[in-house]
Structure 1
Amino acid sequence: MAVLWPYPEDAFFHGAQPGRPSGRAEADQRVAEGVMARLLGHDRTGDQRIEVDVQNRVAILSGSVDSLEVVIIAGDLAWRTPGIADVCNMLTAPHGDDEAGRRHAGEG
């Protein structure tokens, strides 16, 4: 379990009411919606089962996708979303999909 450092606008500092999202949570939700819109709008990622969570402007991608190429594309799309500070790409692809990885690394 990771402990996130709270920001001054987080509920911790202001005693926010239970069940009511803080300003940071609302901003993260908007950024998550932006990431999802990009993923759904792309022809390679639109039909994949990708879960997106954003915490303190960090996009966390999880799920299982068709290929390593889709893993790379999804991470790239998340990085290009306004408001993202970092991406934790935890997507998995079937083993043996080395061709896309070599192309991305500039080999072969």
Structure 2
Amino acid sequence: MSNWIDVAAIDDFKSGTCRVVKTDEASVAVFNINGRYYAIDNLCSHEEAELSTGKLERDEVICPLHGAHFSLVTGEALTAPAYENLRTYPVRINNGWLEVDTELQWDIA
């Protein structure tokens, strides 16, 4: 089952920025990196800091608390102190709006 939620109008979602979508089950950080959109769990798997406030570096986000790097593409924890990967979520553009599906999530092995 899908649960597509509006994130932002494409024209209002600037490159290099992040929007957060919250549901009862998840807080999802949605990033625009040069017109490519990525959605991952908003909380760091190490200490639960909000990744939406982290620094962006290419297609990675850096946790603002302890500096762990995560891939925006796969959700993989790339550096210590984080060792657990994050879930990623599908995104789509629909009638000029970016949407994220918070029901369907992908875990990497």
TM over 0.5: no
Highest Rg: 1 or 2?
1
- Larger RCO of the pair (alpha carbons < 8 Å, separation 6+): 2
TM-score normalized by structure 2? 0.26
Structure with higher helix content: 1
